[in-house]
Amino acid sequence: TPGVRPLIAGNWKMHGTLAAARELAAGVAAAPAGTAELLVCPPFLHLLPVAKALGGAVALGAQDCHAAAKGAHTGDVSAPMLADAGARYVILGHSERRADHGESDAVVLAKAEAVLAAGLVPVVCVGESEAQRVSGEAEGVVAAQLAGSLPEGFAAAGGVVAYEPVWAIGTGRTPTEADIAAMHARIRAELQGRFGEAGGKLRILYGGSVKPGNAKAILALPHVDGALVGGASLVAADFLAIADAA
Ligand code: PEP
C-alpha cells in the first residue's frame, strides 16, 4: 500500500533454547536497516533476553496475552507486563491459539482491548480452513472474524491484520497469488468500511508458508503490506531474505 511501511514479523512459536533465541535475535539485529520494519515474537520466557540482544533496531512482540491487566490467572501473562518487558506488538488469535485453546473472536476482541489499553499494537490473525476455502466461504469467514475481533480503537493504534489461511500454515502450501490478492482487497474494504480513511493505511500481512523463494511475488501483491513468518523466521538468513523482498 503506497505510503505504508511494510512489516515483516517472525513468529517463533514454541521453539528453541534461550541460547538459540539470543543468537537468532543477534543475527536479525545485525542486518542493515532496510525498507521493511522488522518484528520478532519469541516465547514469553525469552522476551527479556531477546529484547537485550535486539538492542532496539528490531521491534519485539509477544505471541499472546491475557485479557485482564492483572489478577488471579495462574500461568498467564498480561499486556502491561509485555509492555514493561519492552514489547511493542502482540500477536492475537493465531490459528494455533484458536485451535489449541478454543479462542473465539470474542476472546480475541477482549485481548485486543487489553493490548490497546497497555499502549501496544495488536496483530490480529484471521483466516479460513481448507474446507471453508473449498466451499467458497473464505472471504465471508474472514470478514466475520474481523467484525468480531477488532476493537473500536484498532485503527487509531495502527493495528495490524494478518491473513493466515489455516491450511497454509506450516504446510509449504500457499493460496494462488490471485486468491491472496482477492482476500487482501476484501480485508482492505472491510477495514475502510469499519474505520474509514484510517482503514486504508493499516497494514495487512500475509502469513502461511512464506519463504525466501516466494516472498517477492507475494509481497508485490496489492494490499499485501508485509508478512507473518513462522518456520522461516527461525533462520536469520531466511527471515532477512524475506525482509529484503519487501
Ligand atoms: C504462522 O504460524 O504464523 C506461519 C505463517 O507459519 P509458517 O510460516 O511456518 O507457515
Please indicate, yes or no, whether residues 165 and 152 belong to a single structural domain of this protein.
yes
Q: Cα(90)–Cα(113) distance, rounded to whole angstroms?
A: 11
**ipTM, 2 decimals?**
0.97
Is the pLDDT score of 215 beyond 90? yes
Q: pLDDT band at residue 118, thresholds of 50, 70 and 90? A: very high
Please indicate, yes or no, whether residues 136 and 214 belong to a single structural domain of this protein.
yes
Question: Which of 125, 160, 173, 209 for a ligand 1 pocket mutation test, highest count of atoms within 8 Å of Cβ?
Answer: 209
Q: Cα(57)–Cα(8) distance, rounded to whole angstroms?
A: 13
Domain CATH code at residue 195: 3.20.20.70
Structural domain count of the chain = 3
Q: pLDDT band at residue 33, thresholds of 50, 70 and 90? A: confident
200 annotated to bind ligand: no
Whether residue 150 lies inside any domain: the answer is yes
Question: Which of 164, 224, 242 for a ligand 1 pocket mutation test, highest count of atoms within 8 Å of Cβ?
Answer: 164
Whether residue 236 lies inside any domain: the answer is no
Element (H, E) at 195: helix 177-195
Rounded to an integer, the average pLDDT of 98-116 is 98
Is the pLDDT score of 240 beyond 90? yes
Q: What spacing in Å lies between the alpha carbon of 69 and ligand 1's midpoint?
A: 28
Please indicate, yes or no, whether residues 159 and 219 belong to a single structural domain of this protein.
yes
Q: Cα(236)–Cα(27) distance, rounded to whole angstroms?
A: 6
Is the pLDDT score of 198 beyond 90? yes
102 annotated to bind ligand: no
Please indicate, yes or no, whether residues 176 and 136 belong to a single structural domain of this protein.
yes
Please indicate, yes or no, whether residues 15 and 72 belong to a single structural domain of this protein.
no
214 annotated to bind ligand: no
Q: What is the pLDDT of residue 3?
A: 93
Whether residue 76 lies inside any domain: the answer is yes
Q: What is the pLDDT of residue 113?
A: 98
How confident is the prediction for the chain on average, in pLDDT?
A: 97
For the entire predicted model, the pTM comes to: 0.98
Mapping DSSP onto H, E and C, the string for the chain reads CCCCCCEEEEECCCCCCHHHHHHHHHHHHCCCCCCCEEEEECCHHHHHHHHHHHCCCCEEEECCCECCCCCCCCCCCEHHHHHHCCCCEEEECCHHHHHHHCCCHHHHHHHHHHHHHCCCEEEEEECCCHHHHHCCCHHHHHHHHHHHHCCCCCCCCCCEEEECCHHHCCCCCCCCHHHHHHHHHHHHHHHHHHHHHHHHCCEEEEECCCCHHHHHHHHCCCCCCEEEECHHHHCHHHHHHHHHCC
Q: Cα(24)–Cα(51) distance, rounded to whole angstroms?
A: 12
Whether residue 243 lies inside any domain: the answer is no
12 annotated to bind ligand: yes
Q: Cα(22)–Cα(197) distance, rounded to whole angstroms?
A: 40
Q: What spacing in Å lies between the alpha carbon of 226 and ligand 1's midpoint?
A: 13
Ligand 1 neighbours by CB, cut-off 6 Å: 11, 164, 169-170, 207-210, 228-232
Instruction: Give tens-digit pLDDT for 139-171.
Output: 999 999 999 999 999 999 999 999 999 999 999
User: 167 near 131, Cβ under 8 Å?
Assistant: no
Please indicate, yes or no, whether residues 174 and 204 belong to a single structural domain of this protein.
yes
**Boundaries of domain holding 162:** 132-224
Q: What spacing in Å lies between the alpha carbon of 163 and ligand 1's midpoint?
A: 11
Q: What is the pLDDT of residue 56?
A: 86
Q: What spacing in Å lies between the alpha carbon of 182 and ligand 1's midpoint?
A: 20
Q: What is the pLDDT of residue 63?
A: 98
Residues in the chain: 246
Share of the chain above pLDDT 90, in %: 98
Whether residue 239 lies inside any domain: the answer is no
Residues annotated as part of the active site: 94, 164
Is the pLDDT score of 219 beyond 90? yes
Q: Which atom of ligand 1 is nearest to the CA of 210?
A: 8
Q: Which atom of ligand 1 is nearest to the CA of 172?
A: 10
User: 238 near 232, Cβ under 8 Å?
Assistant: yes
Please indicate, yes or no, whether residues 114 and 159 belong to a single structural domain of this protein.
no
Instruction: Give tens-digit pLDDT for 46-82.
Output: 999 999 999 888 999 999 999 999 999 999 999 999 9
Whether residue 125 lies inside any domain: the answer is no
3-class SS of residue 78: strand
Q: What is the pLDDT of residue 120?
A: 98
